[in-house]
Amino acid sequence: MSFQRERNYFVFKTSDLVGFDAARYHLENTEKTIGLYRKLGGKAPLECLVIESDWPEYEPAWDEIQRRVEGRPTITDEEMGRWQDTIYKLACDLAPDAQIDGGGCDSGDPLDLTTDKIAQAFNYWDNLLFDTLKSVSHAKVEGSTFKAAAATITTLADENEKLQRQVTNLEEKLLSLLSEAERQ
């Protein structure tokens, strides 16, 4: 699909209407009337973001809109790479690389370094915690073996809480990114 910039809206900057009280009054009433017709027609109130052409965000915003209209990804390869690197580092902090994605093999899927790696890191920690709990249940109550196992469980529980906080923060960041991408 070919992209072409179109003028689909009338926009008046309020500071440009200073001294034109009659025109401003007419424009405000027209806006209210159109808003009422939209509501009666089952449409949501019209909310827009205006970016003036002399602002640095103007051309990048047009580029993002063009990407979306043409069906190209709205996130650049560079941005995706930064997200992948951050998520991969987080996953590696949680589990050895050999336990994630088959020892570092990448399928090429852009999301491969996100949800799959997080799930694999969680599975690694879940299995480690389960194995430790299982070894404690078989340990003798007396002696240092039980104390060492209890200390390990406490450490793992603390690490698991830390991991869950990190994943919650990451999920919030990912949801924010997805929400931002959907708005574009």
- Which pLDDT score is estimated for 139? 54
- How far is the CA of 55 from the CAs of 16, 26, 120, in angstroms? 17, 29, 44
- Which pLDDT score is estimated for 169? 73
DSSP secondary structure code for residue 116 in this structure: I
Q: Name the residue type at position 115.
A: T
Task: Quickly count: other Cβ atoms within 10 Å of residue 122's Cβ.
Answer: 17
Could you identify the residue written with the tokens 């063009």?
66
- Which pLDDT score is estimated for 100? 59
CA distance 79 to 165: 24
pTM exceeding the 0.85 threshold for the entire prediction: no
CA distance 61 to 74: 11
CA distance 13 to 166: 44
Instruction: Identify which of 60, 72, 31, 36 has the alpha carbon closest to the alpha carbon of residue 48.
Output: 31
- Which pLDDT score is estimated for 103? 47
DSSP conformation letters of 96-131: -GGGSHHHH---S-TTIIIIIHHHHHHHHHHHHHHH
Main-chain phi, psi angles of 126, to 5 degrees: -60, -45
Q: HSE of 137 in the Cβ direction (CA atoms, 13 Å)?
A: 6
Interval 103-132: pLDDT, tens: 444 555 545 555 666 677 777 767 776 676
- Which pLDDT score is estimated for 168? 74
Interval 121-179: pLDDT, tens: 777 767 776 676 666 555 544 455 666 666 766 777 777 777 777 777 776 777 677 66
Q: Range with the lowest mean pLDDT among 52-61, 65-74, 76-85?
A: 76-85
pLDDT of residue 18 exceeding 80, the answer is: yes
Q: Name the residue type at position 168.
A: T
Instruction: Identify which of 11, 5, 7, 4 has the alpha carbon closest to the alpha carbon of residue 46.
Output: 11
What rounded mean pLDDT belongs to the chain?
75
